[in-house]
Amino acid sequence: MNEIISETLDQWHKFVEAPSIAILHGILDENVNFHSPFVWKPKVGKMITIGILMTVTEVFENFRYIREIIGDSQLCLEFEANVGELTLRGVDLIQLNEDGKIMDFEVMIRPANGLQMLGAEVGNRLAAKGLI
């Protein structure tokens, strides 16, 4: 694993352990594209992506990564988490730019009932914050 990926991944792991806007500010590109598991069209920009990621961390319980596949400038991080009574799995597909900043962040979730419950929980919170 090259140094740039390693540093960003370390910071991301710190964020997952203790969510912090400051950490996200340090590792997200200004024009990051965020592809949610729910809708096709990406959200663009650091501020909305921070808002979404901070919100999602409120909803997941027992979040843990179970598999990491590391490429040259890309990461595939698979997680398991609980939402309410359900257990779900997901992947974070992360593309870094040459400075090690995250320029593309895509999330997919299975199974369908977990995706649905997550969507309801996250949607309510984003709407309450005026983010969607």
- Residues in contact with a second copy by the rule CB under 8 A: 35-40, 67, 69-71, 74-76, 78, 87, 89-91, 93, 106-116, 119
Query: Which residues, 6+ apart, have CB-to-CB distance to 41 below 8 Å?
Result: none
Judged by beta carbon, residue 84 or residue 111, the one nearer a second copy is: 111
Q: What is the DSSP letter of 42?
A: P
Q: How far is the CB of 21 from a second copy (least distance, A)?
A: 25
> Are the C-beta atoms of residues 131 and 47 closer than 8 Å to each other?
no
> Closer CB to a second copy, residue 111 or residue 128?
111
Q: Are strands 28-35 and 102-110 parallel, antiparallel or unpaired?
A: parallel
Closest distance to a second copy from the beta carbon of 11 (Å) = 19
Of 54 and 86, the one with the shorter C-beta distance to a second copy is 86
DSSP string across 53-107: HHHHHHH-EEEEEEEEEE-SSEEEEEEEEEETTEEEEEEEEEEE-TTS-EEEEEE
Taking the complex as a whole, how short is the minimal distance between the CB of residue 72 and a second copy, in angstroms?
Answer: 9
CB of 97 to a second copy, least distance (A): 15
